[in-house]
Structure 1
Amino acid sequence: MIKTWNGVRRIAFIPVWNNQVDFEPPANWTELIQARAFYDPDAASGLDLSLQRYLQIMSSGRAHIEGAVFPVVEASDDDTMGAALNSLPSNHGYDLAVAVLPHSTGPHRGGFAWMGGAAVNGVSDFARVAMFDDRELGRTQNIGVWAMEVLHIVTYFGDLYNVSPQLNRFDVMACGCGTHPSAHTKSHIGWLSSNAIKVHPLGKTKNYTLHAVSLFQPAPSWRATAVRIESKNGPGHFLVECRLTIDEYDGSSAVSQGIVSEGVIVYEVQGETEVYLKTPTALRAGEKFEDESEDLIISVTESAANGFVIQVKSKGKNRCVQLFEQIKSIKLSLEVENDFFRRKQLIAELARTQEKYRALHCLVLENPATEVVLTSAVASLSEPQKKSEDVEQPTKSKCDKKNKV
């Protein structure tokens, strides 16, 4: 289950090395880790390369870390994670820990996370990263690796690189590089407001102005961080977002490799970690994405300040209409059904369908001035002798007429 991250998380950072394969680490190793975690200014560019800075920018100020760097641990085998955890004092007070190795070269060295298992020395979620990528300790590990592993243990959000084609450098959880997470990832871990992703009504053509994901969130009310289009052929959906190289993370810099191209990207979401990139090169003004099987065309019509204007044209049947028709059908069944237990099943089904209808903001999308009355009296039925005439019928409205078949 994915957890949101809003506020401070306390992390124990533990320097650990394997005396069987590693050279003895530098004397200032704990100071290097302290800087990397909390404040790490680059001498050449002045950019802060720290994990703290990365998290604050990605989350638009929602996520922070605090904690301590513990004494260096000398492990006698490749179980560096176990040695690090067991070195903590009994009263350490942390449930999150990160073991920091000298470098990532060789087996049992790459970034890794353990979540939701049995606690070790009081720590339930822990990860492994490295200070450097090379044995010579000259090439600092990308902060994206630290971010990916820490996001795993704090939010339980999984890797996005186990599908193809994957998001790659359009999401840190796919690449371990220093770029921004996608709107998909940010929304799951609580880094976007509830209205940041606009839901496009199927069967309609609408224009949207996209606010680049790398900009501070939330977007202005007249913009969208992303647009969601429900799939006509399956349970998933499409997301459309804008990516620009306007900061040191999505742009190439001392802290990040940057995204592969600027513009509008489209990807299909079939599950929390089943995310498929549909536009390997981001779309620019005058370009479009088309999926004939979905009757979907997404056109980038023009550039906007720090974003793009897109037009979404879908010929699929409006999901709101489908749900509304289901609601009417269930109510008709209730009118003629006298079996008490079957009526209870229908009432539960009506409640579920009604919740889906509201979750998609159907009322708002269709007509914000009107509302379909979805028979609250039906949900209160509990006696087997209730007759169909006891069921209150919905009040007619403009929305009823619009959706009438």
Structure 2
Amino acid sequence: MSFSTLVSDLTYRDSTHSPRPSAPSHTASTNTARSHLSRAQSSYASTAATSVSISGSISSQLHGGYSHPLARQWQAERQLTKSMLIYPLFITDNPDECTPIPSLPGQKRLGINKLIPLLTPLIAKGLKSVILFGVPLAPTAKDALGTAADDPLGPVIAGLRLLRRAFPQLFLVADVCLCEYTSHGHCGILHDDGSLNNTLSVDRISDVALAYAEAGAHCVAPSDMNDGRIRAIKLKLIESGIAHRVVLMSYSAKFSGCLYGPFRDAAGSVPSFGDRRCYQLPPGGRGLARRAIRRDIEEGADIIMVKPASQYLDIISDAKDIGKDLPVAAYQVSGEYAMIHAAAKAGVFDLKTMAFESTEGILRAGASIVVSYFTPEFLEWLDT
């Protein structure tokens, strides 16, 4: 199936759904809607026809990786500090949403109107960075192309613009994936047989990354695990003239497994069929992880990430060995966080002790950046 055929049938596998209605407080004109759809339709052509040409390897493009003061701090190696932490936020298309996530104790799905009240006290305690995940809740918000991922009125772009104005010093990371926005729940565009179409997925995801960067993200972080998406994103950032000020953080070694359940509940991204084993790495696939890390470094990644964290300390160590001169990030995923909470609730361990031991083990393995749901607690527990 060609990309143009997919575009002409936006309701592929969902043919009975009507077009997505805009939220009452975010009504867009017909022209705006058509313009947004046009962006999705032109995704493949715009990437394939890119005119960018740079001398030497694309990995020679370094400025984006240290353009921001926090990104410069991430180049150093040290013990756990507040500046190493990135706090995940789930932002919905309901501006006033504030709903606890039962499987993620203490975490909530939030509308953009709730972001400033949440973040103001955390920033006062030393919060330096957040990563945004979009959670479209409208019944018809999803389609086969993940069209809503770069909707100018969608939760991520609206959130980026709001936070850049409200907190100029806060470092904003935008997760880049399609799973929250596709009707099938997978991380890209599919072939007719339901398998992942890597080429079309990379074209689409690189457009989404560019849209987030243009909306104010200091860092774009593709988590889809499609082959070649780092190079495609880097080229688009260069072509748009903003590569020198945008950090590209790759989920380079993202393993499949059962530890993402609470996240998928929070983000509404459970696949409607099959699983993600054909594009996420298999548990035990250490050699594949090393190859993926090398590939992403060669394609221009400024930071490489390992996910999950605590179960893959050997991979974090490998990442630091392969990318000796790059910061290594680790994501303490939702399942790790939930298990620590459950153990503390059962009286097996003290929450603070277990959270510290888990995180310090990640740092000893070689990470210098940690994406953690424990960030609010660490802001209380840490002195610096």
Query: TM-score, normalised on structure 1?
Result: 0.24
Query: Which structure is larger by alpha-carbon Rg, 1 or 2?
Result: 1
Task: Return the structure number with greater relative CO, CA threshold 8 A, min gap 6.
Answer: 2
Determine which structure has the larger strand proportion and give its number.
Answer: 1
Query: TM-score, normalised on structure 2?
Result: 0.24
Determine which structure has the larger helix proportion and give its number.
Answer: 2
